[in-house]
Amino acid sequence: MFYLGNRHFTFFTEKAMPLSRFNKIQLGVFPTPIHKLPRLSAHLGGPQIYIKRDDLTGLALGGNKTRKLEYLLADALAKDSDCIITAGAAQSNHCRQTAAAAAMLGLECHLVLGGQAPNVANGNLLLDQLFAAHIHWSGDKRKGEDIPNIVAALREQGRNPYVVPYGGSNMIGSLGFINAFYELHAQCKDAAMPAEFSDIVFASSSGATHCGLVLGKEVCNVSSRIIGINIDKDEQGKDSYKSQLHTLIKDTANKLAVGYPADIDEIQLKDDYIGAGYGVVGELEREAIALCAQLEGILLDPVYTGRAMGGLIDMIRKGSFSADSNVLFWHTGGAPALFSYAEVLQQVD
């Protein structure tokens, strides 16, 4: 059943029991579709590739943050908050979806964005403005460094602000992706689907998607490999990201009283694809975006899914998957950022 704009709390069926005591609001259109990518699979000559279309979550051009926000903003409402604050890059998909959800709920939204205001607001930033988000540019400061000051100023005005963490990634945000795994598991009951996927591949950056899929696999008791493609953590940052991820998994599992893979080495994070760093488009992303567009009519994004699909394509070419495996690529959204990358993506003859 589709209902967009339903602001009531949703209750879960018995199967989703570990999540049933958490507040949730409906912000998107679920379940998102799953389908095969037949022409890309044939082109690569490897495993059968399927795609989970979280680019179609229905909230303001879609994306994975919708799932996290269904829990985070329910928590904000339960705490009687009247304004939402979060942070991200200028082209943050997370900030765009947060601004849209806040507008939908009638909450004021403050975004702390990295760097300076550009001359022209396009892509996600244009959309943030359309949702009338209050934008605070962080300049040379770290993203989010100003959040405590903004919170204090709002409290001073008698407001009750709610801080959504970077990328929506904390225990509450992770619930959205445990729920997503239940959704996937239910879709796999369809005879046209594999009973379970051998591998699930996705972009991993702030962690709640990764955490939720790892725990979702546990609660649904399936054996899929959960393979995150590291988007932006370099040699110095990758170990601390992995231990942060491990802590998030452990804490969320404890909160839900479910089992979890105790060993940090069981977390699969592929570190080979960060290229020249966050948001820098290279040949890997360019080829993945072109192949998906030209063979399947599907838009990837320059920062996350272009890189994650580039990683998957490389792994397929290197023989990481047997030909009879069923690999699910979890499309996490992001296409609105394509327009702000026109200069690096356009084809000039």
Q: Among all residues, which ones are annotated catalytic?
A: 92
Taking alpha carbons only, the member of 143, 178, 174, 148 closest to residue 244 is: 174
Q: Looking at residue 236, what DSSP letter applies? A: T
- 252 touches ligand PLP (CB under 6 A): no
Tokens of 35: 């389908």
If the CB atoms of residues 157 and 296 are measured against ligand PLP, the closer one turns out to be: 296
Question: What residues are paired with 201 via a beta bridge?
Answer: 227, 329
CB 311 → ligand PLP: shortest distance, Å? 12
Gap between the terminal Cα atoms of the chain: 47
User: Which lies closer to ligand PLP via its Cβ, residue 210 or residue 217?
Assistant: 210
Min separation Cβ 94 and ligand PLP, Å: 5
Interface with ligand PLP includes 304 (CB under 6 A)? yes
Q: Is 66 in the site for ligand PLP (CB under 6 A)?
A: no
User: Which three-class secondary structure state does DSSP give residue 112?
Assistant: strand
Q: Is 167 in the site for ligand PLP (CB under 6 A)?
A: yes
Dihedral over Cα of 197, 199, 201, 207: its sign: positive
Q: Judged by CB under 6 A, does residue 23 bind ligand PLP?
A: no
Q: Residue 114 carries which side chain, given as an amino acid letter?
A: G
C-beta atoms surrounding 108 within 10 Å: 17
Residue number with CB closer to ligand PLP (38 or 277): 277
Rule CB under 6 A: say whether 114 interacts with ligand PLP.
Answer: no
Nearer to ligand PLP, 83 or 248 (CB): 248
Rank residues 183 and 301 by Cβ distance to ligand PLP and give the closer one.
301
From 120-128, 189-197, 202-210, 234-242, give the range in contact with ligand PLP by CB under 6 A.
Answer: 202-210
Tell whether the torsion through CA atoms of 19, 21, 25 and 26 is positive or negative.
positive
Strand, helix or coil for residue 104: helix
> Does residue 206 bind ligand PLP (CB under 6 A)?
yes
Nearest-approach distance from CB 171 to ligand PLP, in angstroms: 13
Can you say how many angstroms the Cα of residue 190 is from the centroid of all Cα atoms in its chain? 25
| 3-state secondary structure labels for all residues of 280-339 | CCCHHHHHHHHHHHHHHCCCCCCCCHHHHHHHHHHHHHCCCCCCCCEEEEEECCCHHHHH
- 8 Å CB contact between 206 and 169: yes
Nearest CB to ligand PLP, comparing residues 47 and 207: 207
Instruction: Show the tokens assigned to 104.
Output: 């939908």
Q: Exactly one of 105, 203, 215, 284 binds ligand PLP (CB under 6 A); which one?
A: 203
- For the window 209-248, what string marks contact with ligand PLP as x by the rule CB under 6 A? xx--------------------------------------
Q: Which residues of 152-183 are buried (b: 16+ CB within 10 A; e: fewer)?
A: eebeeeeeebbbbbbbbbbbbbbbbbbbbbbb
Of residues 89-108, which lie at the interface with ligand PLP (CB under 6 A)?
A: 93-94
Residue 241 Cβ vs ligand PLP, minimum distance, rounded to whole Å: 10
123 forms part of the interface with ligand PLP (CB under 6 A) = no
Which listed range, 126-134, 135-143, 203-211, 279-287, lies at the site for ligand PLP (CB under 6 A)?
203-211
Binding flag, residue 310, ligand PLP (CB under 6 A): no
- Between 40 and 229, whose beta carbon lies closer to ligand PLP? 229
Give me the helices (H) in the chain, please: 38-44, 65-78, 93-105, 123-130, 147-156, 171-187, 208-220, 238-256, 283-296, 305-317, 342-345
Min separation Cβ 192 and ligand PLP, Å: 27
Q: Applying CB under 6 A, does 63 fall inside the site for ligand PLP?
A: yes
- The count of chain residues that interact with ligand PLP, using the rule CB under 6 A, is 20
With binding defined as CB under 6 A, does residue 64 bind ligand PLP?
yes
The span from the CA of 20 to the CA of 303, in Å, is: 34
Dihedral (CA of 61, 65, 69, 71) sign:
positive
Residues that bind ligand PLP (CB under 6 A): 63-64, 93-94, 167, 169, 203-210, 301, 304-305, 332-334
